[in-house]
Amino acid sequence: MMRADMSVSALLSTTDARAQESVVVQKLIAAGRLKESDVARAQRLLAESGDGTVSSLLVRLGLLAERDLIDAWAEVLPATRFDTSSAPPTPPEGIDLLPLRFQKAHRVAILSADADRIQVLITDPADPYPLQAIALATRRSVVPILALGNEIEDLLERW
């Protein structure tokens, strides 16, 4: 499922996450999926609110399709894009390692867990907080897998 086993350490630093987000945004601009003026607008709004990431704000404002964003992240990070057909029909082992409320609030979902690592679906790799919290709470190496927000929400509802 993974091209490379990327642990959370690759995304723990806010500085690194923001640098990677900048690369993703530039890829989207180069591909014609995003305008520089929209990015500047989102940056201004983010500076005022201080809540979230530029890329997630672009999606919330309807200036960028979430699928385009996730696909761009998949090109930048050594992580794969979640394939909904591979989702287990029942809750995976370890789903209860994190409160459902946390998973819904941060749009993350545990996909699998063993004694050493935990695979987590994420929508916003530019925000290191959820991955940091998961690593701290579970004391496991976290392997992020990119997914759309509605895919995560659907899985959490089904499980």
Q: Are 53 and 21 in contact (CB under 8 A)?
A: yes
Q: Does the pLDDT value for residue 8 go beyond 60? A: no
Q: What is the pLDDT of residue 87?
A: 87
Domains and CATH numbers, the chain: 14-76 (1.10.40.70), 80-158 (3.30.300.160)
Q: What is this structure's pTM?
A: 0.84
Give the start-end residues of each E strand in the chain.
Answer: 108-113, 117-122, 141-146
Distinct helix (H) and strand (E) counts, the chain: 7, 3
Cα separation of 114 and 2, whole Å?
A: 16
For residues 124 and 132, the answer to whether their CB atoms sit within 8 Å is no
> What is residue 34's predicted lDDT score, i.e. its pLDDT?
97
Please give the Cα distance from 132 to 12 (Å, whole number).
6
6 pLDDT exceeds 90? no
Which of 4-13, 100-109, 145-154 is predicted with the least confidence, judged by mean pLDDT? Answer: 4-13
> Dihedral of the CA atoms 48, 54, 59, 60 (nearest 10)?
-20
Measured at the CA of 110, the angle between CA 104 and CA 112, to 5 degrees, comes to: 165
Q: How confident is the model at residue 93 (pLDDT cuts 50, 70, 90)?
A: confident
Average pLDDT of 72-81?
90
**Contact criterion met (CB below 8 Å) for 107 and 124:** yes
Structure confidence by residue, pLDDT tens digits, 20-74: 999 999 999 999 999 999 999 999 999 998 878 999 999 999 999 999 999 999 9
